[in-house]
Amino acid sequence: MSEETYTIAMLGAGPAAIYGADKLASEGHDVVMLNRDIKPGGLAEFGIYPNKHRMKGGLRTVFRRILDKPNIHYFGNIEVGEDADITMDEVRSLGFDAVVVAVGAQGTRWLGLEGEDAEGVFHAKDFVYHFNKLPPFSQKEFAVGDDVCIVGFGNVALDIVHWLSCEEKVDSATIVYRRGPNERSCTARELKIVSGAMDVEQIRAEIDRIAPELDRVDQDPDEAFEDLTEYSDEPLETESPTKFRVAFLRSPERVVVDGDNRVEGLEVRHNELVPTSEGSRPGVEGTDETSVIDCDTVVFAIGDKIDPSLGLPLNPEWHGEYATVPEPWEAHPERPRYMVWDPEREEPLWDTFVVGWARKASDGLVGKAKQDSEQGCEEVLAFLDGEFPEGPDGGRSADAIIDELAELLGGRDIAPVDFEDVQRLESVEEDIAEERGQKEFKFASNERMLEIIEESA
Ligand SMILES: Cc1cc2nc3c(=O)[nH]c(=O)nc-3n(C[C@H](O)[C@H](O)[C@H](O)COP(=O)(O)OP(=O)(O)OC[C@H]3O[C@@H](n4cnc5c(N)ncnc54)[C@H](O)[C@@H]3O)c2cc1C
């Protein structure tokens, strides 16, 4: 326990924010959480595949226990940023001793291809938010056709294949991947879930087609095939006509559209595998050859990026992450990793930190976000303990800050939800699920959730 108690703003309420808040609150500090969504949980609630009930239920239980702490103050339905409910500067001027940014990676990464704006092109995160019932994505139409190309071969791409096979039951779901089979970035566990939909004949033909490329980098085509299709005899969780196919060494070049701007294919550039030093994965080089894969829907599962509209300085070297203190930070030997860096003033924003997917987009599972946030909050605690050249003001109580925040939001006709509101809402949802004999029920609009919160008060 710290001798002095401070008040920290935590922006977001996903895994990074919640585990970080737990660490800070355990030291006796007050944490005020401002979360865009009505419900906490972030991608653990609205990203992880809907039927992973045990994993999601376990995380919910842990999150509830943490958010129930008396010195964690939850404000849901409050978005921070330019043109949002409250700006970053307003948050910082409320007198918090530190601000921790844990808003995840809300920006959408596009490749900038011709045809990306066509009807039938989606980004994986939006699609995942849609089927996990996060407003407003839950209320938008995601009209999926019969033949879908999914760009990327990570776990998120496989979640899309899972949904397309077991819920949408499309004719074909084809993974389009710029590298070869052995460089896929998904886990065996996720691959196993969808392996029952594999079009094994097509996959064999695809491996045979790229066999000369695999040979060139000393990879055995038969081993690659066996490894990829190891679980293809495992049944899917439901019967499905979907054929799960793959197109290796293909980079998307252009979305081909018809006269109504609807997808009718994906033009891809053919790649070659290039040997690199022993032990490291082969490189890829584009050739002059292209072809078109027939499809009526394209989903890009290529990772997310930071949303620059939050109002924090971005890393000047890579426009895609908030700037953190560059290494080596000569002025201080401990080299803080999580403090936000202002490249114009060439010094840190001493009281502002960034953790989880907000620091590094699409970086790993919940466990990794937890670990990153806990490390970041160690740094926050060091800052509060005066271990950096500048320290906290320590001037305002949590009550005074919360009163001013409530007044500011009230003046804008914005009514935040607190954690008791969330618990009442979730209990109504649980009752409905039980009545209907379902494992889960979620209201799909903010308006309905707010009505339920009011009715159940
Ligand atoms: C499709 C998909 C499936 C996944 N499946 C798994 C899995 O099976 N197992 C696993 O362990 N991990 C899984 N992950 C990874 C896991 O979800 C992440 O590691 C983790 O959620 C990242 O945590 P975070 O808190 O940094 O960000 P997020 O979870 O994105 O949380 C961000 C929070 O910030 C809030 N927020 C956003 N913008 C603002 C703003 N402007 N103002 C205020 N609040 C804001 C959001 O409401 C949200 O609560 C999956 C990820 C995806 C995308």
One digit per residue, the tens of pLDDT, for the chain of length 457 reads 667 899 999 999 999 999 999 999 999 999 999 999 999 999 999 999 999 999 999 999 999 999 999 999 999 999 999 999 999 999 999 999 999 999 999 988 889 999 999 999 999 999 999 999 999 999 999 999 999 999 999 999 999 999 999 999 999 999 999 999 999 999 999 999 999 999 999 999 999 999 999 999 999 999 999 999 999 999 999 999 999 999 999 999 999 999 999 999 999 999 999 998 777 889 999 999 999 999 999 999 999 988 889 989 887 676 567 777 776 655 555 567 899 988 888 888 989 999 999 999 899 999 999 999 999 999 999 999 998 888 998 779 999 999 999 999 999 999 899 999 999 999 999 999 999 999 999 999 999 999 999 999 8
Check: CB of residue 215 under 8 Å from CB of residue 173. Answer: no
Single out the residue of 159, 140, 49 nearest to residue 440, CA to CA.
49
Which residues in 435-446 are b (16+ Cβ under 10 Å) and which e? eeeeeeebbeeb
Q: Say what the pTM is.
A: 0.94
Our answer on whether the CB atom of 373 is closer than 6 Å to any ligand 1 atom is: no
Report which ligand 1 atom has the smallest distance to the Cα of 356: 26
Our answer on whether the CB atom of 91 is closer than 6 Å to any ligand 1 atom is: no
Report which ligand 1 atom has the smallest distance to the Cα of 373: 26
Q: Which fold has domain 110-302?
A: FAD/NAD(P)-binding domain (3.50.50)
Query: Residues 6 or more apart from 141 whose CB is under 8 A from it?
Result: none
Give percent helix, percent strand, percent coil of the chain, each to the nearest 5.
35, 20, 40
Our answer on whether the CB atom of 156 is closer than 6 Å to any ligand 1 atom is: yes
What's the rounded Cα separation, in Å, for the pair 24 and 71? 10
Check: CB of residue 360 under 8 Å from CB of residue 318. Answer: no
At which residue do the structure tokens 């936000």 appear? 340
Query: Residues 6 or more apart from 160 whose CB is under 8 A from it?
Result: 124, 127, 128, 150, 173, 299, 301
**In the chain, which segments carry CATH 3.50.50.60?**
110-302
Domain 7-106+305-416 has CATH 3.40.50.720: yes
Our answer on whether the CB atom of 14 is closer than 6 Å to any ligand 1 atom is: yes
Residue 430: how many other CB atoms lie within 10 Å: 12
214: left (phi over 0), alpha (psi -120 to 50) or beta: alpha
Protein residue with its CA nearest to atom 48 in ligand 1? 42
**In the chain, which segments carry CATH 3.40.50.720?**
7-106+305-416
Single out the residue of 76, 12, 65, 72 nearest to residue 398, CA to CA.
72
